[in-house]
């Protein structure tokens, strides 16, 4: 099983939104180095900051604390990406098949 920390979740949520550490620091009202320490797990996240982060990312603070649920969500994201890739391949094959069919007509 994976060991997903709060810091890793925060970083993943930030990257998913294509936000910079500078943007996050501004949202939290802290310096960029202070925010970087949160993502690198060099500093613990206070309860008030945890609530603020949960609000920013529109997730429950309890989710940020729950390692098992994060693993399931992470695995679901990987499966969604694989499904999307397969769907795209199927669509390409369908187009090719249709083109070949139309050439024979």
**CATH code at position 43:** 1.10.260.40
Number of domains in the chain: 1
Its domain, for residue 61, covers 6-104
Average pLDDT for the chain: 87
24, part of any domain: yes
Which carries the bigger pLDDT value, residue 75 or residue 50? 50
16, part of any domain: yes
38, part of any domain: yes
Indicate whether 8 pLDDT > 80.
yes
96, part of any domain: yes
1, part of any domain: no
Contact 64, 38 (CB under 8 A): no
64, part of any domain: yes
Indicate whether 1 pLDDT > 50.
no
Q: Which long-range contacts (CB under 8 A, 24 or more apart) does 98-103 make?
A: none
Q: Which residues of 57-78 are buried (b: 16+ CB within 10 A; e: fewer)?
A: beeebeebebeeebeebeeeee
89, part of any domain: yes
- Other beta carbons within 10 Å of 33: 10
77, part of any domain: yes
- Other beta carbons within 10 Å of 9: 22
Question: DSSP state, 42?
Answer: S
Residue whose C-alpha is closest to residue 50's, from 40, 42, 60:
60
The pLDDT value recorded for residue 38 is 93
């Amino acid at each position: 099983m994976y060991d997903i920390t709060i810091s890793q979740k925060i970083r993943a949520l930030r990257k998913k939104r294509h936000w910079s550490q500078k943007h996050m620091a501004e949202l939290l009202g802290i310096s960029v180095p202070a925010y970087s320490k949160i993502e690198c797990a060099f500093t613990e996240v206070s309860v008030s900051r945890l609530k603020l982060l949960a609000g920013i990312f529109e997730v429950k603070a309890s989710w940020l604390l729950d390692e098992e649920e994060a693993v399931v969500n992470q695995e679901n994201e990987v499966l969604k990406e694989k499904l999307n890739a397969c769907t795209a391949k199927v669509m390409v094959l369908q187009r090719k098949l249709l083109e070949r069919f139309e050439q024979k007509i």
